[in-house]
Structure formats: structure tokens, C-alpha cells
Amino acid sequence: MAMEINLLPQVPTTKKFLWPIAVVIGLIVIVYSSFVGLQIWSKSNQLTSQTQILEQLKKERKASTNQLNQMRQERQLPALYLETIKQLDSAHINWISLVDEISKKLPKDGNIISMSWKNNGKIEMIGYFHSLERVGQYIQWLNQIEWIKEANFINTQETTTQETYIQDILVSESNLTITKEPTETLIQPPEIDVYQITIQIDLNLPSLAIKEGNYKNE
């Protein structure tokens, strides 16, 4: 009777089942990782969307707040307008005293030829000066007056036209307008360089209003 002898090494039975288990575990890990990654991506998109919505809500809230503040300011305008009217009414500016005060420190070689009142509480003066240094000193003195917020020159023009200079200094005492009187009878001064200066004065109306007799009409 013949016997078959298998000389090949025997493979343990347990090893035959390890690789399917490893494959299954690998598949589980892949599926779980994909699921976790999908959840993270979804949460990230959701967070980004919520952040955008929050930013949009902030912008809308800011716009609403600005609109509300604007409406409040508009509601306050009538009160501010009435208050301004009261201040102007209580000021009763005595222009003679005011012009006299402004003219006190006017340089001897300076001439104011016109003065106009602006609706925003400012005075605009036009005059002639022989040097810019005198203009600077005069404006510096104006800024020291308590009822003047700020004085500054807004335009400068150099001229040597003798006839224009003579006509401009012939100013009416009543309304400070240039007269058109003939200049033939005038003694012609020598032709000199002069600067036509426009000075703007911003008045402090409340300070004028509290004056008693100096800058108010009784």
C-alpha cells in the first residue's frame, strides 16, 4: 500500500482568515474617514454660510442705525433752526460798534472798501494793503477778539492800477458801496504796489448776544 507524503510547509489556518479581516478593517477605516471628512466639510460650509449671514445682518443693522441717527438729526433741525433764530434775534448786532471795533487795528496804509454779511454768520471784507506783513498782523489781531471765531484771508491779488485804486477807496459811508465820482479833481497819488485782500471773519454769535451795549442795540 502506497502512502502520499506532503513535504510542503503547512499554512496555519488562522493566517488564512487574517487578510479578509484586514481588508474589512481597511474598508471600515476608509468609510469612517470619508464620513468624518464629509461632516467636517459640511460643518465648515455651514459655519462659512452663518458667518456671511452674520456679517450681512451687521451691515443691515449698521445701515438701520445710521438711518435712525439721520432721522433723529432731521427731527432736531427745526429746534436748531429756531434756536439759531433766537440767537440772531437776541444778538441785535450793532454794526456801527462792530465795524468800529474791527477798524481799530486797521493799518494806516490799509483801506476796507466793502463789507458783506453772509447767511452762515460770516463777514467778508475786501480791502487794500501795502504789504502782506501788515495783513498778517491785522488778521492776527482780529483772531484775538473774543466774539470772532476765526479770521483769515481767502484771496490775494497784487495790483498797481492807480485809477482802480483811487475809485475803490471812494466808499460810501452809508452802505460801503463804490461810488462812481470822477477822479479828475483828486490829487493823484504816486503809483504804488498794493494788495487787494479778501478777509473772511467767522463770528461767534452767542458771544455777541451776551454783550450789553457794546455790540447790541438797546
Which DSSP string do the residues of 29-82 spell out, in sequence order? HHHHHHHHHHHHHHHHHHHHHHHHHHHHHHHHHHHHHHHHHHHHHHHHHHHHHH
Q: Is 125 part of any domain? A: yes
Q: What confidence score (pLDDT) does residue 14 get?
A: 56
Q: What confidence score (pLDDT) does residue 6 get?
A: 54
Whether residues 117 and 196 share a domain: the answer is: yes
Whether residues 78 and 106 share a domain: the answer is: no
Whether residues 139 and 199 share a domain: the answer is: yes
pLDDT digits (tens, 9 = 90+) for 155-169: 888 876 454 555 555
Domain that holds residue 52: 19-90
Whether residues 117 and 79 share a domain: the answer is: no
Whether residues 44 and 59 share a domain: the answer is: yes
47, 64, 90 — which closes off a domain?
A: 90
Q: Is 185 part of any domain? A: no
User: Is the pTM here over 0.75, yes or no?
Assistant: no
Residue range 202-207: average pLDDT? 75
Residue 85, C-alpha cell as written in the block: 433764530
3-state secondary structure of 152: strand
Q: How far is CA 21 from the centre of its chain?
A: 76
Q: Is 72 part of any domain? A: yes
64, 90, 116 — which closes off a domain?
A: 90
Q: Is 208 part of any domain? A: no
Q: Is 211 part of any domain? A: no
75, 90, 105 — which closes off a domain?
A: 90
Count of structural domains, the chain: 2
3-state secondary structure of 12: coil
pLDDT higher at 214 or 100: 100
Whether residues 107 and 197 share a domain: the answer is: yes
Q: Is 26 part of any domain? A: yes
Burial of 91 (C-beta count, 10 Å sphere; 0-12/13-18/19+): buried
Whether residues 99 and 83 share a domain: the answer is: no
Whether residues 110 and 199 share a domain: the answer is: yes
Q: Is 66 part of any domain? A: yes
Q: Is 213 part of any domain? A: no
Instruction: Give me the chain's average pLDDT, please.
Output: 72
Residue range 99-117: average pLDDT? 84
pLDDT digits (tens, 9 = 90+) for 70-87: 888 777 777 766 666 666
Whether residues 194 and 112 share a domain: the answer is: yes
Residue range 203-216: average pLDDT? 58
CATH of the domain at 131: 3.30.1360
Whether residues 51 and 77 share a domain: the answer is: yes
